[in-house]
Structure 1
């Protein structure tokens, strides 16, 4: 009995101990749960850092718009940075990027590519990312040096005139140019076209020739009507014209292809008395851009913008890149901040000094610096040329296109200019703001420009390292920072969203509106 009693006492003691432990655990559980919830909440409110995506191109073609490993952002801290981006300091909005559909380009696209390859190429160039997203184009009103023959849109026998423009026609454009532009519009209906004449019809000129000479004063009104008839005729073919310039390179008289001198006083008079008032009365607006020539003579557009009768009709200034400094754009902007700037022509080529290609020059001088100096859009010269830099009628014998189309096989090659433009056009969307970023060109050898897209608040930073050695650059935006080592002689586009939680929420709301589509599914 004693042994039985001792066993019963041991069982009772164990039972009491177990009950005590269970009671203690129950009493402690709320405190442990509170601590667990507090830890979870602390994890939830920790900042979610943006991730930086990187695309890289290098001279020599080893890397061409190649995606690189993502970069992690960290808290900014107090350490100095090379490039500070301030998205609250906004400058011009971006209209877009593109190239000229010259007669040569349209002929190659139409006659050296079959239907399937032609449509694939146009989707690549004008379609949304991962296409290049080109949304600007320049057209020539009549022939340029990159045409197969000389013509205007109102050619009549020598010695006759046609002030009523009864013989105006676009027959020369019906086979190749107009169908190709319409194909582009089918891919990108938002295409913005800037159109420029190389010469007035010969009967309007003192030379009675498309090459050289000037517009006769008695035909200034007829010339304005000629430009307006072009706008109306192209619209009838489904092609709207965003802007007109009065004359391509009006301070240069070429000797081997169409051209025409047109001084500032003449341009101002035509705009003030004829073209401006006539376009202003129209419901569908076509803008007027003055100059359409090099950076080297800002006094020319300043003279037109300083004319009180012409200036109200002028929307902006068109610039070319062949002489002078991009800072001319900034000078004109400071004097006339209400007028826009566009780069409407620039071409690279197989020049003797161009041993390393055009990637760095096009990215740094044309695009980065051009846009830091207030350009809203950049239009390269020929969209497409063949392996012989043509076809062309006089003029530039070594110019490059954005693409090269082999005149026999139709094989398409993408040039340095293609990739320089793509570093911008694929990422900087129409309507984006250029935003403030520290200029590091002089001290670091790293040119840069920054933008913020309005559709999703994403930030785009394009950098160009012109040095022959790698350079590490520190970048800060808001309360975050990162570092990136740019390879020698390279172009990089870096993108991130400063509010990744907001991006996730927008996507989640999008998914809520798409029943049956799980998160993570495109």
Structure 2
């Protein structure tokens, strides 16, 4: 009888210890993409070890509200989708927009043609048509509009779309050319009307445009493909005195206007001018940036400056891609190796070539997105969603890489590691999430964290090194031991049941 009593007591103690242990344990879901072959794989093993890196999540420290993550609808991508089998077309759109896929929430498209179009075209082909009586989006009907509509049909959550012009029609410009030149002052009102007409036309197609960037790359692109130059003052004057008032008077005052839309090193002079006074600030809802200034630097000082200049405005990365490269077909290893080069490898000035070394595409994406999120950026948009094995089609032969590569000859689809890298953010950090604070004891790991509207928390960790790392992650009094592979990106999802 005494033995039984002690046995029952011992069992009670063990149960209490087990309950206390479970109460102290953080419940998580872990997903990993790695150079060793994981593709957003759920990791269920929990390995504790010595010399663990400490990551402490601080949900009471809140920063910017997330607008979204995604990619761009281009004529090139839409054309390729139309050439694939219906099954593969559906597979790609579901991979990007369904709940089972990457759940893209913020997207971009182009107004008139861009470098990733099949040819030069404008919605305003009739010279001297100041009132745009011949405005037409007919060029978009075969490819671009069907792709957007099909994506909207797949997406249960919906997504925001902003549009960007590369250039006005040549007849509106001082050089009468698709490339370079400036908008003639006598066409400022016509060009403002162009934006309003575009909204009308897409609305008639059942597509709601969330907003605009005023001009893609206003510094130009080395006079290679469609472009139109603005100085900071010229763009600000156009928005304050023409575009903003026109949209307002036409009932589109709620549409988002993002200024700048080029590399980060030039941010200071642009935001200083855009937000020069209350009158100009009224019409700018935020600032758009690209990443092409460097293959490794995300320019935190510039991002901090832009945020501090306009803390209540959007700060969105609107374009980034692996440029000046032909994609590697079904070679996952290449995307993790420092072999890619960008435009600056060949063309940057000697004093800036150091910013453009060989790099690993996955590393560049992961570093930049995490660096942006930790420095007030609220949205991050990739460039083309789909390209072919050449890195096109592209009328200028400006080859680039996309997360999804297709072979039209064999009707094959390749989801590159870049696709999974994007999904680590877009799938788990949802619109209206708040970036939250954290403490990270290991400066070789890049980490960001966000609390979603449903109160779940998503933490993204990037381990650029080749060594596996042990991590002890804590939230309040609870903790969990996690292991991240070398050359890996992980998303740790903490469900609301931990709260």
TM-score normalized by the length of structure 1: 0.81
Structure-2 change in CA distance of 1:311 and 1:62 (3 Å): same
- Relative contact order higher in (CA < 8 Å, ≥ 6 apart): 2
Following superposition, the deviation at residue 449 of structure 1 comes to 0.2
Following superposition, the deviation at residue 134 of structure 1 comes to 0.8
**8 Å contact from structure 1 (residues 106, 180) kept in 2:** yes
**8 Å contact from structure 2 (residues 74, 110) kept in 1:** yes
**Residue 95 of structure 2 is aligned to residue 124 of structure 1:** yes
For each residue in 1:211-254, what CA deviation from the matched residue of structure 2 results, as whole angstroms up to 9, or x when unmatched?
Answer: 11111111111101111111111111111111111110001244
CA–CA distance in 2 between the matches of 1:275 and 1:401? 32
- Number of aligned residue pairs: 457
Following superposition, the deviation at residue 81 of structure 1 comes to 6.3
CA–CA distance in 1 between the matches of 2:473 and 2:119? 52
Match of 2:319 among 345, 355, 380: 345
1:369 maps to 371
CA–CA distance in 2 between the matches of 1:42 and 1:58? 36
**Residue 403 of structure 2 is aligned to residue 432 of structure 1:** no
Following superposition, the deviation at residue 259 of structure 1 comes to 0.5
1:391 maps to 393
**8 Å contact from structure 2 (residues 29, 493) kept in 1:** yes
Secondary structure of 1:147's counterpart equals coil
CA–CA distance in 2 between the matches of 1:391 and 1:286? 31
Match of 1:330 among 278, 284, 304: 304
User: Which is worse superposed, 114-123 or 174-183?
Assistant: 114-123
Following superposition, the deviation at residue 418 of structure 1 comes to 0.5
CA–CA distance in 1 between the matches of 2:376 and 2:52? 28
2:408 maps to 407
1:55-454 to structure 2, matched below 5 A, reads: 55-59=31-35, 62-71=37-46, 82-111=54-83, 113-128=84-99, 130-156=100-126, 160-188=127-155, 190-281=158-249, 282=251, 285-298=254-267, 299-323=269-293, 325-327=298-300, 328-349=302-323, 350=325, 353-354=339-340, 357-365=360-368, 367-394=369-396, 396-397=398-399, 399-439=400-440, 444-454=443-453
**8 Å contact from structure 1 (residues 58, 489) kept in 2:** yes
**8 Å contact from structure 1 (residues 100, 139) kept in 2:** yes
User: Which is worse superposed, 303-312 or 85-94?
Assistant: 303-312
CA–CA distance in 1 between the matches of 2:275 and 2:461? 34
CA–CA distance in 1 between the matches of 2:226 and 2:435? 37
TM-score normalized by the length of structure 2: 0.85
CA–CA distance in 2 between the matches of 1:146 and 1:361? 22
For each residue in 1:299-334, what CA deviation from the matched residue of structure 2 results, as whole angstroms up to 9, or x when unmatched?
Answer: 223311224322111111111000164322221101
* Structure 2 gap ranges (5+): 327-337, 341-357
Secondary structure of 1:163's counterpart equals coil
Following superposition, the deviation at residue 48 of structure 1 comes to 6.4
Following superposition, the deviation at residue 498 of structure 1 comes to 5.7
For each residue in 1:451-490, what CA deviation from the matched residue of structure 2 results, as whole angstroms up to 9, or x when unmatched?
Answer: 11121x2211111111222232332211122333322211
Tell which structure's C-alpha radius of gyration is larger.
1
Following superposition, the deviation at residue 495 of structure 1 comes to 1.4
For each residue in 1:2-39, what CA deviation from the matched residue of structure 2 results, as whole angstroms up to 9, or x when unmatched?
Answer: xxxxxxxxxxxxxxxxxxx9xxxxxxx9xxx9999999
What root-mean-square deviation, in Å, do the aligned CA atoms of Structure 1 and Structure 2 show?
Answer: 2.8
